[in-house]
Structure formats: structure tokens, C-alpha cells
Chains A and B, each alone.
Chain A
Amino acid sequence: MKLCYLLTCLAVSAAAQKATVNGYVKDAATGENLIGATVLHRSSLSGTTANVHGFYSLTLKRDSCTLIYSYVGYQPVQLTFVLRRDTSININLTSAGQLEEVVVEATREEIQELTKMGSITITSDQIKALPAILGEVDVLKVIQLMPGVKSSEGSTGLYVRGGGPDQNLMLLDGVPVYNASHLFGFFSVFNADAINRVELIKGGFPARYGGRLSSVIDINMKDGNMKEFHGEGSIGLIAAKATVEGPIVKDKTSILLSARRTYLDVLTRPLMAVAIPEDVAVGYYFYDLNAKINHIVNQRNRIYLSSYLGNDRAYTKYREKFNQPDGTPRESAADSGLDWGNFITALRWNSILGPRLFSNVTATYSKYRFDIFSEYEEQDVGGGDRDYFEARYMSGIRDWAVKADLEFIPRPDHYIRFGAQTIWHQFSPGVAFSSSAIDGDTTMGARNVYATEYSVYVEDDFRLGRLIKVNAGAHASAFAVEGRWYSSLQPRLSARLLAARDFSLKASYATMTQYIHLLTNAGLGLPTDLWVPSTSRVNPQRANQVSIGAAKTYKSIYEFSIEGYYKKMSNLIEYRDGASFVSVTDNWQDNVTTGGFGEAYGTEVLIQKKSGKVTGWVGYTLSWTNRKFEELNFGKWYPYKYDRRHDISVALSHAWNDRMDFSLAWVYGTGNAVTLPIASFTGIDEPSPGQVQLWPHMRYYGERNDFRMRAYHRLDLSVGFTKKKKWGEREWVFGVYNAYSRMNPFYMDIVRKDGRQYFAQYALFPIIPSVAWNFKF
């Protein structure tokens, strides 16, 4: 008892000798939070970084102190003052681009100092520096250039460290996005103009993240300019976009609005009219709208309201007028197509609860739905004798969630995070509806499934001595569905040993549990992918991942990292033999095989050049990933479709001067594993006892995914010409996708032509030149 009392007195006494400086670090011109900005105490060399909300907290001795605030590309600010009590200081840093002549050598937390493993942060500027595809830069395409991340042609589906496309948690301002594809997967839903920062985590997951096995892609939208109105936009070959941001009340409330729409449908309409004389329209378009309001309530409280609305539509329309045999004029209209989209919104409340305690409370709503429709209507001209038929197939998922995240920073080298979340899911795994003049209305298919997901976490980032830094935590989650209760405790641990000033060794372990699954077609990026919950027949997926690695910085310009990982997965699901997404009207659980195992292992190397005229990176991955299901491949292990032995990516950009820049991206990957029929043979069946029937054309496939498509490689180039104008800045960007027109394989099939059969490998995109006009004011 006495010992407790003594320890308490000591702690209080120690605390009494210290005080805390906290606040936000922001861009002086825009008021935008500078995520990851460094705050360094000059004499002790202890420091901290601003969190994703721009907030920092540093507890120091009550004494005279000098703090250095810095951020890459910004002029550092040095502040000397006497720290007598807890103090709030908001700092505005000025961008180097706005200064006449500066040498910006900002300190930042370098890669060898970070505890995190398998984590890569990409800024909006880095995204925009890389080649645009059809005039559009795309966040997910940039992520696909990172080691450990694989993709396929014409798809935004990501396969991270041997995982499936459903095992990635894509968060836009903290809200999950369930389908990130536009244009059948060629573009993602994330408009680069509205994005501030992207973080990709492939392993060593901090405890605050959960719900997916393989990766977290955390995307932060811009908050909106607090100082003055600005805008930017572009007009490209297939799409135009515009973003406007500015203060509603200066330094108090800002708004950001961003919109993008394709106009393939508008451009091709005259061509269609010539090519098809009948009254037929075939088209496709997509649009995105992003909006965000950021309001500073007072020094301690901020509120954000952000929303995203996106929709894709592919359609055919056919109109006809004709006469019936008795001469009555009639008219008909037939419409069919696909419609899919996301709507997400988040209301966030940031609050400084104390000098060392920061909270972020979020309420979110996320909805994804797709709708396949076919409608036909026929009636006498002028009305009367109406006949109609309508058929629809709808599927989707809706989430309502509340989340509280708290950050407690007792010391500069000690960061504690904890929080809780509840998500209410509504799954609609497929409902078919038909209506006709004869049969009336009929609805069939899977009914809605309701589930609730709970999670709590605690995460502690601390030092053990001078050299070792540890991030330890646990994520506990539970899932209630149809009377079943699943729960899971997921320990997480990352540690780094600073072996030299610029070199560290790292290791991490993470257990992840995933309660929802995606039934996906062959990676086409079609919207028919079906989100389904764990049920009494389908257990939650689990993964354990260990990784070790090393990180080094050379002259603060080059970063080098190497990581090896091993991931074991269980309770995976997969379509059964013969199943396809076309048969989704059946109970989805009948189409899948469950209880699958997976393993993935490999090594990733990443060399980055972060500053200078030439910036970029080179990544290499050597990896294996396999699957095993009792019902598939006769129960034997087989390579996963995206098992890719070698994967190389090179992304470089070169800024010659203020007026001209050049960028390239080159990727190489071992061909995808596919299952091909290699022989045919005569089989038998017995429709009645003793009555044998021969089937002479049965296909023999050999082992599952035993054949490799050709290697995938592609070079994208772009060059930009920028010119300052009175009203702002304009840029012409000329780009080439697939510069040497490599016929990269998309799928394979047997073709019969000119009297012979052969295997054909289909490619989607040859060389595609593009031009875009960008503006900024």
C-alpha cells in the first residue's frame, strides 16, 4: 500500500515538472492539415509527428524550449518560448513553391525510424506525378506499382501479398468503399483532385485496423481551403473533372466540391447514329461527386462532413414504331443495362479532450448496389392496349457505423491509441424481380441478411531503450448474424531495432479476421461481384502474417527497404466447379465451397528516391501463393490465380524545370495461372440403371491453374507542359498507355477459324495515346 502511495506521489511529482504543447500543423496558404509533419524539441531531440488529423502533442520539461516544425516541401518554422503550463500552438507552414528562394531540408521521420512494416504513404503530388491513363491519374493504379501488390489488365482489383480482392479494406475518410471500380475496373472511384494522402498497409497492421486479411488502403480527402477559393480541373479524352475549394467563413469553415464525368456516351452518339440507322442507343458513362465541409467549432473542436456519390451506367435503348396486321400503329421501347454505384458519407468530430488526449468520433454510412435491368413496353400510338415486361436483378450492401478513436500521448516517445466501433450491415445478396402484363409481379432470390460487427482495440507505440521501438496491441472483434456469434482476438506486434543512425531491422506479427466475403467473377471488375456475410455455413476468414525486414536511408534522399513475409489463411471461400456469377439468383451459399486454406510467402524490395529532379521508385517482388479446398483440384494444393513469381515496377518522374516534366511507369509480372483444357476424352453417364450413355467431348483440365499466361509488361509515358497564366496555371499532358503496344493476356479461349482450332490469348488494350488539358487557379 505504501509502495503504491509512493509511486503515485512520484508520478504526480514528475508530471508536475512537465507541460504539454499541442495543436495543429497546417499549410499556411490553404489551412489544410499537414499529416505527418514533424515537431522536434531541439535540445532533447525528442519529437512527434502530426496524426492524420494534423494534431500533435509533445510533453516536455517546464523550461525554455525551442521547437522546430517541419514538413517535406515546406519552410521549417523554429519557435522559442518558455514552457510554463500546458500550451496550444497551431503552426502554419509555408510551401517551398511559394517562396522566392529557399533550401528546404526538412527533417521527417525516416523509414528506418518507423515501427510500421509493409506500409507505404503516397501523397497527392506523387500520384499526379505519374503517367495518366487516358488523361486520368488513378490512385489504385499507383498503388499497383508498389511491391507486394498485384493487379490484372483492365481491373482495379488488388491482390496484396497473395490475398484476394475482397481482403483489402479501402477507406475513404474512414468509410469503407465496397466497389472501387469504374469503367469495368479500368479506373477507380477515387478522384485524385480530391485526395490529400493515401496510406497502403500490407502487413504489420496496427491494432486500430481490422476486418480484412490482406491490406488497408486508407485514403484521406482534402479538407478544403480555409483561406481563399481555388479550383483545378482537367478535360481529357474521355472525362472531365473540376474541383473547387474555399472558405465559407475564412479560417472557420471551408468547403470542397469535386466532380468528374465521362463523356464516351456523348462523343460516340453521332457515330452510333451513322453506324446503326435504327433508333438504337448504346452507351456508357460514370460520374463521381465528392463534397466535404470542414468547420472549426473552437480551438478544441472540429467537425467534418464528407460525402461521395458515384455511379456507372451501361445501357442500350431501342425504340420502334410499326403497324399491326390490322393497320393499328404501335410503338415499342426496350431498355436494358447495368447500373452500379457507391454512396458514402461520414460525419466526424475531432476534439482535443486534454493536452495529451485527442479524440475522433465518426458516424458513417456506406452503400453499394448494382442493378441489372431489362424493360420492354409496347402500346398503341397515342396510348391504349399496353403490354409490358420488366426484369431486374439487384444486389448490394449497406453499412451504418459509429466509431470512436482516442489518442493519448503521455510522452514524446509514447503513443497510445484505443477505440471501439460498431457496424450494422445489411447484405442484399441478390433479388430478382419481374413484372409483366400477363403474370403480374414476381420477386424471388436471396432475402436480406442483417449482421452486426463490433470491435475494440488498444495500441501502444513505445520505446524500449534508445534503439528499440515497439508497436504492440490487440484488436478484438465479434460478428452477430442469424443467431450465430463469431468472435476473435487478434494480437498485433511490430518492432524495430535501430542498428545504425540510418539503418534498422524490423519484425512484425499480425492476426486478422474478416467477417464478410466477396464472391467475385474472374477479376473482370464487373459490378456483379457479390458481398456476402459469414453465416452458419460460411465461417469468418482468418490470417496470420509474420514479416521481417530491414530499412535504410542514404543521404536522406534514397530509401531502401526489404521485407520477407509468410501469411497463412483459413476459412477462405471460392466458387465451386461449374459455378459462375451468372447463376447468382440461386442461394449464393450453394455456389461456393468453404473451409479453404491459403498460404503466401515472398520477399519485397523497394528503392525510392524521394527528392531531387528525378524522383520515383523501383520495386521487386518474389512471391508464391497457393490455395487448398477439399472440393477443388481433388483436395490438392494449387497455385492461386494471381500467384506471380516475379513482379517488377519502375515509376520515375523528372521535372526539368517549372514548365516541363516527364514521367514513366514500367511493370513486369509473371503470367497469371489459369486452368486450361489440355485434352478431351470420352466419358460415360448412366441416365437409367444399366443404360450407359457415352459423351465423346469431355474436357480434361489437368491440375487447377497449372498453365501460365504470357508475362505481363507495359510501359506508360507522359510529358506535361505547364504555363503560368494571369488567372492561374494550365498544363497540357500528353500520355501514352502501353507505349510499345504489348498484347498483354486478358483471357484465353479455343477459337475455330479457317478450318482449324487454336488457343487464342485475348488482349484488351494496345497502345493508347491521350491528351489532357489541366487548369488550376
Chain B
Amino acid sequence: MKGSPVVFLLLALASCEFVSEVDVPEIPPRLVVNSFFYTDSAWTVYLSQHRHILQENFPSAPQNAIVTITAQSGASFTLEGGAVDEGVQLFQHPSAPVLSESYTIRVSAPGFDDAEATATTPGSVDLISVWLDSANIVPHNYNGPGSIPVEFTFQDPPGRGDYYIPRFFVWGTRAVRRDNGQVEFEDGWEPGWLSKSPDNGGFAEFDSEHPGLTDEGLDGDIRTVRLHAHKSWWSSNEPKDLEWKFTLTHVKEEYYRYVHSVRLQRNNEGNPLAQPVQIFSNVKGGLGIFAGSATSSFEHRN
């Protein structure tokens, strides 16, 4: 709504622009280490290197990199390097992380400073109950997509720094584009999106940029949260035979801050008036993220 006059103004200002080129300093080569880990999956690390902001092509993945992970218990293993795609090399190890264990990743490669990060696999959260408030469904209309209240109760572990990412899925038929470019239809869990409810239990921020709920105000409490699950074509007669799934992913602060900053930067891409977004990183000597998560889920199938 406000866009056109503002753009007009900026054009008016830009009409007397004079441009000159400036140099931006190089920074020393840095490793980019990205890994989200879970208890039910093998170790996977995506390794790449940063590139100068004006460099358009992807630089090659760091050569002869060594990626090792050491558990707090003392166990240590080296991940095996695999395929490279667009400058990112995949490193894997068949073992899986253990709940509530702390891990340190160390990455070294010739020509780069060593990168290191430590993170703990969060304990799985106790999802006590989940229910859909079918009586209060809002069907899709001109004012927006349909929504249905979803209420869940969970137990927050003692202490601060816990974050929870709720997600909602509906079983249905969806279109999937295959690698060969063909579009096929298949049944599966299709994600809906969740939004804040005015009576959501006191959580201030939850939207497309804030990926989860903080444990602010909680300390080992049982908390009930009410959100709205949205699907654009939702109608009032669906809930009675709806098959749905609710998941609650427990993450720690580094995971939350990283994903929040990534989404914030992506949402503001191309907006010259937005404040710059610095991406969080817990990787010392490099960039990226090394963080664990644990997901609890609840399924309702007919």
C-alpha cells in the first residue's frame, strides 16, 4: 500500500545520484561448517568456504579437509568426505548422536584457520497432550486463509536457554516435482503453518522469522500453548476426518539464534531500507552452525 509513494520518493532522490566505486577489504579465508544433528539420524556436516561479497561463482570446497567430532564422553571419530555440489562438500559418519551429550566438532583444511564448535543434543521434550479445537475452525474466506486452533501441553526442562519449534502437518495428496522435472502426485505429510493466538500462553514472538517459542517465564513448568494452524483451502467440514501430525522440536539457543537470523536476512533480501542482519554463528575460527535438536511428535490418523 505504502510502497508506491515511497518508491517514488526514492526515485526522486536517486534522480540526482552520482556513483563512484569503492574497494571492500578482503577477509582471510574462513571455513563454513554447517551441521544440524538429531538422535535418530547419522552425522552430517556441510563444509564450504566463504567468498568475497563481489565474487559471483562458488569457490571450490576446501581441499583435504579433516572433520572430526569428539563426544564429551571421550569418543572421537572422523567423518568421511563425499559429494561436492556448488562448493559444498558433504561429510558423514554412520553413528548417531546421543541425547543430552555434548559434542565438539573440529575442522581443519590447508590454507584455512581451524574451525571449532561445541553443542549439546537437547533432551526430548515431554509432549503431554495435543488437541485440535474443531469447534472454532475459521474457514478460508476473503479475509485470509482458514485456520484451526491447536493446543498443546508440554513440560519444559529446568533451566533457561530452551527453545521449542512447533510444526503442524496434514496428511494429503500433494504435487511433487521429481529430479527429471516431472510433476507427480503422492500422499504424504504436508506442512501447514502456525501463527500466534492472542491467548497463546504468554509467548511474545512467534512468526515466520522467529522459528520457535522461548522458555522465557518458564523454568521446568508445564505449559499449555494455543496456536492457529493455517491451510489456505481449509473449509469448515474438514476437521472431522482430518489426519494430522504435530511435532515439537526442542533446540538450544545457538540453533534458535542461527535460524532466526537466517530467516530474517532472507525475508529482507533486496530491501535496501531494512537494517542489515548479522548471521549468528557458534563456530570459532569460521562461520556456520553446529547445533542439535530433538523432536517429539503426535499423530492423529483415522
How far, in whole Å, are A309 and B261 apart by their CA atoms in the complex? 44
- Bound-state CA distance A336–B266 (Å) is 30
A769 to B: closest C-beta gap in Å = 15
Q: Which residues of A contact B13 (CB under 8 A)?
A: 154, 184, 524, 764
Q: Is the CB of B21 within 8 A of A758?
A: yes
Q: Is the CB of B287 within 8 A of A681?
A: yes
Q: Is B199 an interface residue (CB 8 A)?
A: no
Stretch at the interface among A89-97, A196-204, A457-465, A572-580: A572-580
Verify if B52 is at the interface (C-beta below 8 Å from A). Answer: yes
Most chain A CB neighbours (cut-off 10 Å) among B3, B18, B142? B18
For A746, what are the chain B residues with a Cβ–Cβ distance below 8 Å? Answer: 17
A364-402 interface bits toward B, Cβ cutoff 8 Å, 1 = contact, 0 = none: 000000001110000000000000000101000000000
What residues of chain A lie closer than 8 Å to B167, measured between beta carbons?
Answer: 688-689
| B48: nearest chain-A partner, CB-CB | A682
User: Are the CB atoms of A675 and B276 closer together than 8 Å?
Assistant: yes
Question: Across the interface, do B36 and A684 meet the contact criterion of CB distance under 8 Å?
Answer: yes
Q: List the B side residues contacting A675 at CB < 8 Å.
A: 276, 278
Distance to closest chain B CB from A421 (angstroms): 35
- A695 contact set on B, CB distance < 8 A: 262, 266
* Residues of chain A contacted by B52 (CB below 8 angstroms): 678-679
Q: How large is the interface on A (under 10, 10 to 19, 20 to 34, 35 or more residues)?
A: 35 or more
| Residue B53 CB within 8 A of the other chain | yes
Instruction: Contacts A675-B276, A689-B293, A762-B19 given; indicate if A696 touches B58 (C-beta within 8 A).
Output: yes
Distance between Cα atoms of A656 and B216 in the complex (Å): 72
A374 to chain B, nearest CB (A): 6
* Distance of A320 Cα from B7 Cα, bound (Å): 22
Give the interface segment out of A15-23, A208-216, A243-251, A749-757. A749-757
Query: What residues of chain B lie closer than 8 Å to A486, measured between beta carbons?
Result: none
- Residues from chain B with Cβ under 8 Å of A704 in the complex: 276, 278
User: Contacts A372-B6, A681-B32, A698-B265; is A580 near B53 (CB within 8 Å)?
Assistant: no
A581 to B275, CA, bound (A): 10
Pick out which of these stretches binds chain A: B22-30, B156-164, B173-181, B224-232: B22-30
Bound-state Cα–Cα, A581 to B20, Å: 27
- A762–B10 Cα distance when bound, in Å, is 13
| Bound CA span A633–B40, Å | 35
Total contacting residues, chain B, CB less than 8 A = 77
Q: Which of B25, B49, B86, B274 has a CB less than 8 Å from the CB of A578? A: B274
A759 near B24 (CB under 8 angstroms)? yes
Contact yes or no, B54 A434, CB < 8 A = no
Q: Pick from A391, A522, A688, A764: contact of B273, CB below 8 A.
A: A522
Q: Does B27 contact A766, Cβ atoms closer than 8 Å? A: no
Q: CB distance A751 to B48 under 8 Å?
A: no
State how many angstroms separate the Cβ of A262 from the closest Cβ of chain B. 13
Cα(A750)–Cα(B289), bound, Å: 27
Q: Are A683 and B262 in contact (CB under 8 A)?
A: yes
Q: Kindly count the residue-residue contacts between A and B in the assembled complex, taking CB atoms under 8 Å apart.
A: 221
A685 interfacial by beta-carbon distance below 8 Å: yes
Q: Does B87 touch A at the CB level, under 8 Å? A: yes
Pick the contact of A677 from B36, B53, B58 — CB < 8 Å? B53
Q: Which residues of A contact B288 (CB under 8 A)?
A: 681, 683-684
Contact B22–A764 (Cβ < 8 Å): no
Residues of A643-695 at the interface with B, using a CB-CB cut-off of 8 Å, are 675-690, 692, 694-695
Whether B9 contacts A526 by the Cβ 8 Å rule is: yes
Task: Decide if B56 touches A685 in the complex (CB within 8 Å).
Answer: no
- Report whether A750 and B54 are in contact in the complex, using a CB–CB cutoff of 8 Å: yes
Residue of B nearest to A527 (CB): B9
User: Which of A578, A700, A701, A757 is within 8 Å of B267, CB to CB?
Assistant: A578
Residues of A within 8 A of B259 (CB): 685-686
- Asked whether B268 is an interface residue with its Cβ less than 8 Å from the other chain, the reply is yes
Contact B18 A759 (CB under 8 A): no
Q: Given A690-B41, A699-B53, A764-B13, are A577 and B275 also a contact pair (CB < 8 Å)?
A: yes
Check: B214 CB closer than 8 A to any chain A CB.
no
Q: Using an 8 Å CB-CB cutoff, how does the interface string of B258-282 with A read, 1 for contact, 0 for none?
A: 0101111111100111111111100
Interface status of B102 (Cβ within 8 A of chain A):
no
**Chain A residues within an 8 Å CB radius of B44:** 692
What is the CA–CA distance of A576 and B274 in the complex, to the nearest angstrom?
9
Within 8 A of B (CB), among A564-587: 575-582, 584-585
For residue A632, which residue of chain B has the nearest CB? Answer: B278
The verdict on A46 contacting chain B, using a C-beta distance below 8 Å, is no
Question: For A582, what are the chain B residues with a Cβ–Cβ distance below 8 Å?
Answer: 2-3, 6, 271, 273-274
Asked if A521 is at the interface of the complex by the 8 Å CB criterion, the answer is yes
Interface centre among A521, A526, A581, A685 (most CB of B within 10 A): A685
Residues of A within 8 A of B209 (CB): 578
B5 within 8 A of A: yes
Residues of A167-213 contacting chain B, CB below 8 A = 184
- The contact string, 1 if C-beta is below 8 Å from chain B, for chain A 334-354, is 001110000000000000000
Please give, as numbers and ranges, the residues of chain A lying within 8 Å of B268 by CB-CB distance: 578, 580
Measured CB to CB, the residues of A under 8 A from B are 154, 184, 282, 284, 314, 316, 336-338, 372-374, 391, 393, 432, 434, 439, 521-522, 524, 526, 528, 575-582, 584-585, 590, 633-634, 675-690, 692, 694-696, 698-702, 704, 707, 710, 743, 746-751, 756-766
Beyond A578-B264, A761-B22, A764-B17, 19 additional contacts (C-beta under 8 Å) are A314-B12, A336-B8, A338-B9, A391-B2, A528-B6, A577-B261, A578-B267, A578-B268, A584-B2, A678-B53, A684-B34, A684-B36, A685-B263, A689-B249, A694-B88, A701-B278, A710-B22, A751-B19, A763-B18
3 nearest A-B pairs in the assembled complex, by CB-CB distance: A578-B264, A580-B274, A391-B1
A-B contact pairs, 23 of them (CB 8 A): A184-B12, A336-B4, A374-B5, A577-B276, A577-B277, A577-B278, A579-B275, A582-B3, A679-B51, A681-B287, A685-B263, A686-B293, A689-B249, A698-B265, A699-B277, A701-B277, A743-B20, A757-B54, A759-B22, A759-B23, A761-B20, A763-B20, A766-B16
